[in-house]
Structure 1
Amino acid sequence: MNRLIVALWFALVLLAGPALAERLEYQGHEQVGETLRIDTRRGPLVLSFRTEAVVEAFYDFEDSGEHPSRTLDPNAQAVTADLVVEDERLVFSTDQLRVKIDKSPLRLSYWRGDELLISEEGGAFLERTLRGFRFRLADDDEKLLGGGQRVLGMDRRGHRLRLENRPDYGYGTESDQMYFSIPGVLSSRNWMLVFDNAARGHADMGSTEPDILQFEAEGGRLAYLVSAGDDFEHTLEHYTTASGRPPMPPRWALGNYASRFGYRSEQEARDVVQKHIDKGFPLDAIVIDLYWFGPDIKGHMGNLAWDHEAWPDPEGMMADFAEQGVKAILVTEPFILTTSDRWQEAVDEQVLALNMAGDPKTFDFYFGNTGLLDFFKPETGDWFWAILKDLMDQGVAGWWGDLGEPEVHPPSTKHVAGMANEVHNAYGHHWAESIHERHVRDFPQRRPFIMMRAGSTGSQRYGMIPWTGDVDRSWDGFKPQVELALQMGLFGFGYIHSDLGGFAGDEEFDAELYTRWMQYGVFQPVYRAHAQDQIAPEPVFHDERTQRIVRDYIRLRYRLMGYNYTLAWQHSTTGLPLMRPLFYSDPGNPDYFNETNTYLWGDAFLVAPVIEPGVDSWPIRLPEGVWFDFFDGSRNDGGQVLEVPVTLDTLPVMVRAGSFVPKVDVVQSSDDYSSRNLELHYWHDRSVDRAEGEMIEDDGHARTSIEEGLFERLTFDAASVEDDLTLTLEREGSYPGMPETRELTVVVHNPPEVDEIRIDGARVAVEGSGVATDDGQAWLDDAGRLHVRTDWKHPGLLLELKP
């Protein structure tokens, strides 16, 4: 019935407008530089390739209004494409992607070689209250991922999704609309389409009409991008080349956070930090929620200044935290309450969104009567940043932007960029942009930290670190977290993460749920427990068993800091997310497009969090190949669903045969991070004759380290011929403070039978193999792993293991 209603409604809109149902016709064309302009009676269609595998189609109709692209990186340039003119069509193409432009009626179709990817069903439509595109899907079996944060399963085909960033407090195993919507799809046939429009609207993924993909918006830009690389990784890489890569976060952002709603005083915050240190929990940051600017939840939002009764010496506190290696992150919101200390200042400075009379728009919501900052206005960004910069000069290290959907956004709210419905989904995007660009200007060598709940396509280039919102503190809240993270990562938001342990509700601590969620956190991009404080989110306040297990996993997180930092570098340089779907490993397996529990953490790890209580085994889906259990070392053939025995201390984590994983020493804070003492683990198997890996090292905080080449790349290569194994290690590049020599221990899992070891040609004896040793450079441990220790100096090292 709902589908029928939607179809009838759309038909009525077709009849209501003078030109919606009328097909466009080609009137002429002109190629100017890298762009192709096609004239129609309603205005030009402009095509431009943003990379060889990404093309933008922009219908610049005369009556569509001025709407800038928010998806495209303004610094990205169009690339050259070839044009072939035929009687009935034009073909605009690169070596990787072709656009066929039929002249009558005007219609675009997209091809990779001879493969039709997708085609416009009727081009653009534009009416007074509705605009968008209709596309005809080429394959009935095609799966469509995308749409952003939803709990619907990975394949969203058959759904009609509301495109509107909106909170879903306490969500669990079902949610069709959440904090961060994405107007885009990724096809199981390896093409991506992104509607470059931030207005409220809908994405109809074959719900109303099974073979039609339709994007609708209440205003905004009439444009979209198509990306189609050689494989899924390259499709995302090309898309993020066009829309912008996420900058490198500071290294400390990959550490452990103390966070809750919320610390009510300076003394409480100091006590929490000290408790982590006393109990041996590594800690890198403390997140201070809204009590920093007022004693109550309601009535103070917008003060944006310390409440000195509760926080008498915030500068001294943050200086002490810095000595302990802990960074302070403050929450801010885009709402200025009429009861706040800054209300009149905001009115006088004209930084608020307006009502239809031209006065500051006010409305009621949970926290009080409020106005909303207009971040589409540069003067608003300047006013807000002046406050933030002063706080950063006091010692604040990062920013948490909450409620940025915006949580309440009445349609009658007027921004300089348009009415609320036209720009709603771009609000968080412009908020992040305003902070990022001023941060870069005033702190050019310092990496920004900007955690925000909502944005739009392209927001990743402003360093946005999103999270999955106010999830229910329950098993139902835990279950969808992998799905949510994978969906966001497919569109460049690789730092998506959950409030570990759950945020909303519950009055009784569930130790098993909490432990399982915190274990999963080791293999999600940001390790931050956060919750309403009737139950402490920090592990230091729980029972000894919970503390022991969680402490061990947090220490593992720090042991893997070099590996995780390399994933962050890959995300910044290629767009690859840290959490990766199984179909990246085997795109030919249709089951992998539906998988919502097992995922890849980088290339090496396969993880399946335990999301049910009281189990003694848990399934993990193994792609083809050979996989080793990370905890017990057992070897497993891929291409199966493996039931793994688990205790509360363990979860299914596998390592792909042929993987290199660096480990470093555990430190209390990443300020003390060092790879001078480096363990390099290699999982050997005779089925793998060649393997490679890498590790990226820099100073962990310089913003321009990638652009200036101030980093070191450690590369690892393995070659196996029968029982001979050769590992070649190379170092290239440099940065200030780089270790000249590393004390290196190579750990070979499942090693071949070894009678002879050579390091750079010099023979080394093996302890425990029946061969005498004088220097203890090599030994076998009780689990049968081979350890080889040496000093690794620039530029390289050759390790040979021979039978």
Structure 2
Amino acid sequence: MRLLGIVFSFLCSGAVFAAQYQAHQLDGNTLHIQSDKGKLSLQFYQPEVVEAFYQNNGVKQLPSFSISQQPAALALSVAEAADSLTLSSAALTVKINKAPLRLSYYRGDQLLLAEEQGYFAAENQHGFRFALSKDEKLLGGGQRVLGMDRRGQTFPLYNKAHYGYSTESSQMYFSLPAVMSSNKYLLLFDNSAKGEADLGASNADIMQFSAEGGRSSYVVVAGDTYPALINNYTALTGRQPLPARWTLGNYASRFGYRNEAEARAVVQKFRQLKLPLDALVLDLYWFGPDIKGHMGNLAWDPNAFPQPEKMLADLSADGVNTILVTEPFVLTTSKRWQEAVDAGAIALGPDGKAKTFDFYFGNTGLIDVFNPAAQQWFWQIYQGLAEQGVAGVWGDLGEPEVHPDDTVHAIGMANEVHNAFGHQWADMVYNGMRRNFPKQRPFIMMRAGAPGSQRFGMVPWTGDVERSWGGLKPQVELALSMGLFGFGYIHSDLGGFAGGEQFDKELYIRWLQYGVFQPVYRPHAQEHIAPEMVFHDSHTIETLRPWLNLRYQLLPYNYTLAYQNSLTGMPLMRPLFFYKDSFADAANTTLMDEKNSYFWGDAFLVAPVTEPGVTSWPVQLPGGVWFDYFNGQRYAGNGKVEVPVTLDTIPVLVKAGSFVPMAELVQSTQHYSSRKLTLHYYADSSVDCAKGEMYEDDGKTPDAIVNGQFERLNFYYLKQDSEQKFELRRSGEYAGKPESRELTLVLHNQSATPSHISVDGRYVQLVPQQARFNRMQNVAWYDKASRQLKVKLDWQADKQQILIR
């Protein structure tokens, strides 16, 4: 019988009795309640964030892996009536029914969420039941292919590989015991154990989370808007540190490069074809010649990679950062098995000895990342690799892929800590890197984690997706669902990973076109079909070249998205219901179901083409005015439109009133410079004023934001009668900051040649030919065919104004 079937049967049998209130005490941010079953603490972390932690007598409690915020000092009040208590912050009210003990959460007069059964315990399960309101939508649950609204679904809370998935999956690599509601609350079940979520499947009006042990706690997050929910939630669980700029570049990656010659050759191929490249990912073969038998060596195979330090140094000098795969399994046949056992690094079995078991790669043990001794042993290996010049860590199979129930970890059994394994692993690597390599921004790509793993710089991906159109279809849904909970760098293996009997050129092109507007640009696949574009025919290369070039030209825009994410948790890929227009909430609720069209930052609306042979593609508009990036076609409203496409294009629209900063093309971010900028502005009669920003630093210094080692460039637009005014501002300092910038302002959708242009009151000449414009400084040129006005200026002052009539 399924877990929930057991729990519901147990509840209906009357064997679980609700707790009864006995006493309470307010202590700072926490209301302590004593009941006949144990303790309940209600702790406010922010005015709109409160944790309910039930500690029934005799129930083991594990620590929270998700919560990282220290509570701020808040003014709370408690009012008592005969049958209830009311706990209030400045923004949120918790009403506590005394008999039975039951909680309800209000924002002002609005009921956000109410316990139905509240906390329950049945056999070895415990969890919570909540009442759902009519028409309430629920997003979240982590990686699932179930549609954006997960209400009516039940699914396991257990990180598990789903090899070769496509258009449907209820259980995948990275589960999250959390939902975001259309009623503008976010609910986190703060539990690391194996469990299940029932979001109105067994009972349409009930949402239930349950688990085999762990922690009997949940957190309610409120907010005025959906972005505010993310902001408050990531303040609680931690925000993604700003990654190195190279993270946003192009990766060469496959399963896998078998030796140093292959690794060097693929980099050389990119350089010869003048296709930008910033990273090289080495899979299993860096530590062994075969797929099986070598996992856990965690050292270079000297036959395949005889001079790793020289290779790493050469690649680094060429602007290529090397990332190595590692796994938490140490095979008994590996060179380090006995060393790991002697160090106490291997998780134990019930007999107190290092536990071994069989899985695909061989007979193995599992590193106990919850054990300080194991962490010390594991970290010293990472430290040695980083000292050699390895730039990034790839943690694979970290669900863990195989995790026997009777595995004994330092803090609990396998099922109690399973979903926190990848999280704890990332914690170890991140803090080790910050401690031992304080001048380096860590890069940590991992397949599994838990709520809060984003604070360790985790870069997750969507696992071993099938190399098919069906595999491409759910990638936006997966990314949006994860991005709502802090994981701004979720991405897919571009081109698809698993299977595929022969190369599907159109599928490959469509997937890599989409990749330009996903957080990490990493084609990756099984090697029988090359994932790197350099190994395909010239037509494929030349079709994709402008797309890869666009990815690099957009570095100023994309890096600014990374900056915004690090401050507020706002994902780089954003759902359409985040649109800041004035239409009713009902429209927003409808947009919650949209799983193909999405925002890339605030400026772009993207709809990947996920079917072959089409000449147009449907795009859901959220409202407002949008322009086709390729041909300037204007669209407006909040319906669906058919956008014409060729093999060279997918629907990419730009919002009216958007500023899009772009840089010159480079072959590696090592050579990136914002000395020359092109600033695009998309004008429209519907927009009277607009603003934008650009963030700049040296691309590598940790804590640049905290330490003020950055520059902000702000852009403003104001339309008054027949005049268009632009104001450019810049502030801040960092090493390598350009003293001045050659800026080309490109105004789109300009219907006529201007009669007057000036910069800070100085007249700017309007030249008749583009060739003259390209050669000269402080000039302008109007292109009637494209309806674009270009103004070139030398931006030196902290503030400059441009006037156009």
Match of 2:790 among 787, 792, 795: 787
The change in CA–CA distance for 1:676 and 1:8 in structure 2 (over 3 A counts) is closer
Change (3 A) 1:282 1:743: same
1:402 and 2:396 correspond:
yes
Aligned counterpart, 1:763: 763
Corresponding residue SS for 1:528: coil
In structure 2, the residue corresponding to 1:60 is in which secondary structure? strand
In the TM superposition, residue 17 of structure 1 has moved relative to its aligned partner by 8.8
Per-residue deviation, 1:794? 3.4
| Aligned position for 2:100 | 105
- Relative to structure 1, the CA distance from residue 310 to residue 779 in structure 2 (aligned partners, 3 Å threshold; closer, same or farther) is same
Trace 1:45-84 onto structure 2 (pairs within 5 A): 45-73=40-68, 75=70, 77=72, 79-84=74-79
* Aligned AA (1:156): R
SS of equivalent to 2:21 = coil
Output the CA distance in 1 between the equivalents of 2:316 and 2:4: 59
Q: For residue 338 of structure 1, what is the aligned residue in structure 2? A: 332
Q: Which residue in the other structure is 1:734 paired with?
A: 733
| Distance in 1 separating the partners of 2:166 and 2:636 | 34
Amino acid across the alignment from 1:172: S
Shift in alpha-carbon separation, 1:297–1:324, aligned structure 2, 3 A: same
3-state SS, counterpart of residue 390 of structure 1? helix
Is residue 657 of structure 1 aligned with residue 652 of structure 2?
Answer: no
Aligned to 1:670: 669
SS in structure 2 at match of 1:671: helix
* 1:8 to 1:735, Cα distance in 2 relative to 1, 3 A: closer
1:589-668 mapped onto 2 (5 Å cutoff): 589=587, 590-668=589-667
Mean CA deviation greater in 440-449 or 509-518: 440-449
- 1:690 shift after superposition: 1.4
- Distance (Å, rounded) in 1 between the aligned partners of 2:723 and 2:83: 62
| Match among 502, 523, 533 for residue 496 of structure 2 | 502
Q: 1:535 aligns with which of 529, 536, 552?
A: 529
Corresponding residue number in structure 2 for 1:748: 747
Q: Which moved more, 1:21-30 or 1:164-173?
A: 21-30
Superimposed CA distance per residue, residues 370-405 of structure 1 (whole angstroms, 9 cap, x where no aligned partner):
000000012211111101111111110000000000
Q: Which residue identity lines up with residue 55 of structure 1 in the other structure?
A: V
2:82 to 74, 78, 87: 87
Which letter does structure 2 place at the counterpart of 1:494?
A: G
**Whole-angstrom CA distance in 2 between matches of 1:85 and 1:274:** 73
Secondary structure of the structure 1 residue equivalent to 2:766 = coil
Contact kept? 1:17, 1:127, Cα under 8 Å? no
Size of the aligned set, in residue pairs, is 795
The alpha-carbon deviation at position 62 of structure 1 amounts to: 2.9
C-alpha deviation, 1:253, in angstroms: 0.4
Residues 593-648 of structure 1: per-residue CA shift (max 9 Å, x gap): 11110000000000000000000111111111110001111111122211111110
State the match for 2:780 in structure 1.
Answer: 778
Tell me the amino acid that sits aligned with residue 746 of structure 2: V
Alignment of 1:444-463 (within 5 A): 444-463=438-457
Cα distance in 1 for residues equivalent to 2:769 and 2:406: 78
Distance 1:775 1:330 in 2: 47
Alpha-carbon offset, residue 126 of structure 1: 2.2
Aligned mates of 1:132, 1:455 — CA distance in 2: 21
SS at match of 2:191: coil
Matched residue, 1:134: 129
What is the rounded CA distance, in whole Å, between the counterparts of 1:739 and 1:706 in structure 2? 18
Q: Is this contact kept in 2: 1:76–1:241, CA < 8 A?
A: no
Alpha-carbon offset, residue 105 of structure 1? 1.5
Contact 1:56 1:223 in 2 (8 A): yes
Letter in 1 for 2:802: L
Aligned to 2:38: 43
In 2, the alpha carbon distance for the partners of 1:78 and 1:579 equals: 34
Report the alpha carbon displacement of residue 769 of structure 1 after superposing the two structures with TM: 10
Structure 1 residue 54, shift from structure 2 partner: 1.1
Q: Which deviates further from its counterpart, 582-591 or 547-556?
A: 582-591
- Unpaired segments ≥5 residues, structure 2: none
Separation (CA, whole Å) in 2 of partners of 1:788 and 1:52: 48
CA distance in 2 between counterparts of 1:60 and 1:464 reads 31
| Alignment RMSD (CA, Å) | 1.6
Partner in structure 2 of residue 384 of structure 1: 378
- Displacement of 1:491 in angstroms is 0.5
Q: For 1:715 and 1:126, how far apart are their aligned partners in 2?
A: 54
Unaligned runs of 5+ in 1: none
Note the C-alpha offset of 1:568.
0.5
Deviation at 1:74, TM superposition (A): 5.1
CA contact under 8 A between 2:693 and 2:712: conserved in structure 1? yes
Q: Does 1:362 align with 2:356?
A: yes
- Farther off after superposition, 44-53 or 314-323: 44-53
Question: 1:633/1:291 Cα in 2 relative to 1: closer, same or farther (>3 Å)?
Answer: same
Q: 2:673 is matched by which residue type in structure 1?
A: S
Instruction: After TM superposition, give the deviation of residue 548 of structure 1 in Å.
Output: 0.7
- CA–CA distance in 2 between the matches of 1:151 and 1:373? 30
TM-score, L = length of structure 1: 0.97
1:660-717 deviation line (CA, Å, top 9, x unaligned): 0000011010011110000110000110111111000001111110111111111111
Give the Cα separation in 2 of the matches to 1:78 and 1:24.
30
In structure 2, how many angstroms separate the alpha carbons of the residues matched to 1:22 and 1:378?
A: 40
* Aligned counterparts of 2:672 and 2:138: Cα–Cα separation in 1: 42
1:411 aligned partner = 405
> Is the 1:49–1:55 contact (alpha carbons within 8 Å) kept by the matching residues of 2?
yes
In the superposition, relative to structure 1, how do residues 541 and 513 fare at CA in structure 2: closer, same or farther (>3 Å)? same
1:376 is matched by which residue type in structure 2? F
For residue 179 of structure 1, the aligned residue among 170, 173, 176 is 173
Map 1:688-707; keep pairs closer than 5 Å.
688-707=687-706
Instruction: Look up the match of 1:588.
Output: 586
The one-letter code sitting in structure 2 at the alignment partner of 1:347 is V
Question: What whole-Å deviation, never above 9, does each CA across 1:520-572 have from its counterpart, x for those lacking one?
Answer: 00000000000000000000000111101212111100000010000011110
SS at match of 1:199: coil
Shift of 1:94: 2.2
Q: Percent identity?
A: 56
Partner Cα distance (1:244, 1:556) in 2: 31
Say if 1:599 and 1:607, in contact at 8 Å, map to a contact too: yes
Aligned to 2:300: 306
- 1:132-157 Cα shifts (integer Å, max 9, x gaps): 000011x2211111111010100111
Render the CA deviation track for 1:335-377: whole Å, top value 9, x for unaligned: 0000000000000001111100000110000000000000001
CA distance in 2, matches of 1:79, 1:540: 57
CA distance in 2: counterparts of 1:752 and 1:56, whole angstroms = 56
Which of 114, 118, 121 is the matching residue for 1:123? 118
Q: Which amino acid counterpart does residue 336 of structure 1 have in structure 2? A: V
2:237 pairs with 1:243? yes
1:618 aligned partner, one-letter code: W
Please identify, of 420-429 and 716-725, the stretch whose mean Cα deviation from structure 2 is larger.
716-725
Q: Deviations over 1:311-357 (max 9, x none)?
A: 11111111110111000000000000000000000000011111000
1:412 is displaced (CA, Å) by 0.6
Q: Which string of whole-angstrom CA distances, capped at 9 and with x for unpartnered residues, describes residues 438-496 of structure 1?
A: 11111112110000000001111111100000000000000000000000001100100
The separation in 1 between residues aligned to 2:449 and 2:141, in whole angstroms, is 13
Matched ranges for 1:217-366 at <5 A: 217-366=211-360
Q: 789-798 or 649-658, which moves further after superposition? A: 789-798
Residue deviations 1:742-775 (CA, integer Å, cap 9, x gap): 11111010126421111111121322499x9996
Task: Give the corresponding residue for 1:10.
Answer: 7
Question: Which letter maps to 1:192?
Answer: L
Letter in 1 for 2:761: G
SS at match of 1:396: coil
Distance 2:73 2:256 in 1: 47
Alpha-carbon contact 2:20-2:37 (below 8 Å) kept: no
- 1:207 equivalent in alignment to 2:193: no
